[in-house]
Amino acid sequence: MTKLNEPVVRKSPSTGAQSPDVWGIYEPDTGSVQYICACPETREAALIDVVWNFDPKSFATDTRSMDQVLALAEENALKVTRILDTHPHADHLMASTHLRKMLGVENGIGEKVTEIAGLWRDIYNTPDAFDAARDFDHLFADGDVFRIGNMDVKVMLSPGHTLGSVTYHCGDAAFVHDTLMMPDAGSSRADFPGGSAEDLWQSIQAILSLPRDTRLFIGHDYGTDERKEPAWEATVAQHKAENKHVRDGTSKADFIRTREDRDATLSLPDRMLAALQINLRAGQLPEAENDGRSYLKMPVNRF
């Protein structure tokens, strides 16, 4: 049995035309799931939400997760053509810039990252920080379409967890990030700056309007009291029948009340105040100072 404190890789194979092969790579330190989405015909692939590992005690970084993802792509003879993130993550550092430089391919995120950056410039009191147009090659708008090999990928704006989160919908797969959790865990928090339980409800309803056999790949899993193995894939039909927060018959008011009550009990992720300064730079540290080292700024008593 795979435990929640162990890394694990699983493949969800293509089901036919316009259906990607998907590998999920579980990162146990933060409960994050990284993805490879590949065209079975051309072997072209996108990497989604890859982690740059970070120790919140020592502030040391390492590349073991991105190394694992790249080794998996090589092992399966995949050609990586895109680096994608669904939002500026609060609980891990994104590997976007490192991968962009290593592989020589373009990176992307939702265009509303510019609005998220505005919120965090105020929080960090850094009015000149964060230039998304410089650090990301693509700032995707709702409804944008791009290709991975022979497959179309449609971008869906999915706010709630953040105001600028996006879903990548590719054939019978959708990478829905921090909207849904597994059906036995419900949904993701919506209490960060710019978040909204009402917006999250609307985003989840749009995701659940996709065809019933669409494979939904979530951003995190922490298990439950009953389930000790990590999981990250369930269909639209499974969520509509079983998801404890949004199953069929759940009202918007009940969801918002449940979500907000739950969020009121949650502490900040231990990497959050470091992660946003780095992820709003596409996974780059602030410019080094005269000693050659980078430094982060922490707002005392802000949260």
pLDDT tens-digit series, residues 98-121: 999 999 999 999 999 999 999 999
Q: Which domains does the chain have, with CATH numbers?
A: 8-266 (3.60.15.10)
pLDDT tier, 7 (very low <50, low <70, confident <90, very high otherwise):
confident
Token pair 């791009």: residue: 146
Q: What is the pLDDT of residue 160?
A: 98
**Tokens, residue 49:** 């939400």
| Mean per-residue pLDDT, 53-77 | 97
- The two beta strands, 233-235 and 215-218, are antiparallel
Percent of the chain with pLDDT over 70: 99
Q: What is the pLDDT of residue 3?
A: 64
Distance CA 79, CA 223 (A): 32
**Number of other residues whose CB lies within 10 A of the CB of residue 292:** 6
pLDDT tens-digit series, residues 223-261: 999 998 999 999 999 999 999 999 999 999 999 999 999
**Are residues 192 and 90 in contact, defined by beta-carbon separation less than 8 angstroms?**
yes
Q: What is the pLDDT of residue 4?
A: 79
pLDDT tier, 2 (very low <50, low <70, confident <90, very high otherwise):
low
Q: What is the pLDDT of residue 81?
A: 98
pTM of the full structure = 0.97
pLDDT tens-digit series, residues 172-230: 999 999 999 999 999 999 999 999 999 999 999 999 999 999 999 999 999 999 998 99
Q: What is the pLDDT of residue 130?
A: 97
For the chain, the average pLDDT equals: 96
**Are residues 52 and 59 in contact, defined by beta-carbon separation less than 8 angstroms?**
no
